[in-house]
Amino acid sequence: MIKNIFSTPIYTSTLDDQIADKVENIVVPKLNLLSQMETNKTDYFSPTKVVNFNEVSFLFDEINKAAEDYCIQTDTFKGNNISYWVQDYQKEEHHESHAHPGSFLSGVYYIRANENAGDIMFQNPNPHVYFTPYQNNRMVEHHTHRVKPHKGLLVLFPYWLFHQVIPSKELNTIRTCLAFNFLP
């Protein structure tokens, strides 16, 4: 018998097109208000967000429903407070590997993304996975999991799971997201 233990749950769903269009119409005109950082544009460090919570409360309702579903399925707690920020990535922009300590649950909602958008890549939390033996004369890849962004995609994951945004190589890259943490 095989029993899967110590799994790492990642939740993905695509929100309704009407919700996705509404969020995009609210956020995209405000992208010029984001601060240019070394590797992306964001309002993470700003005391005022480019999008007011009330403007997109309908989106947070959907995020909260998904988070509650995630917590029921994984027997975890999400917390009742949420912090959020908008990020925009263009050619060569990325985000280094990081986790979100001090949170209960983390996530990202893709406001818009085209086929050139870099993936979000999750790293296996098992430190010994890099010693996986060869199988059928090829290395078994168990150390990362990639998710291709697209408009309307919601991804939830444990706050402790290291992840990064892969740089986009094309000039006409579109990748805008709302990242968030559920807090104690």
Per residue in 118-160, pLDDT tens? Answer: 999 999 888 777 665 555 555 555 688 999 999 999 999 999 9
Q: For domain 11-119+148-183, give the fold.
A: Jelly Rolls (2.60.120)
Residues 6+ apart with CB under 8 A from 173: 89, 90, 91, 93, 114, 116, 117, 118
Per residue in 55-108, pLDDT tens? Answer: 999 999 999 999 999 999 999 999 889 999 999 999 999 999 999 999 999 999
Q: Where are the domains of the chain?
A: 11-119+148-183
Question: What per-residue confidence (pLDDT) applies to 141?
Answer: 58
Question: What per-residue confidence (pLDDT) applies to 132?
Answer: 59
* Residue 82 contacts residue 60 (beta carbons within 8 Å): yes
What tokens does 106 get?
A: 């983390």
Q: What are phi and psi of 169, to 5 degrees?
A: -95, -20
Write the DSSP assignment of 47-60 as a string of letters.
Answer: SS-SS-GGGGHHHH
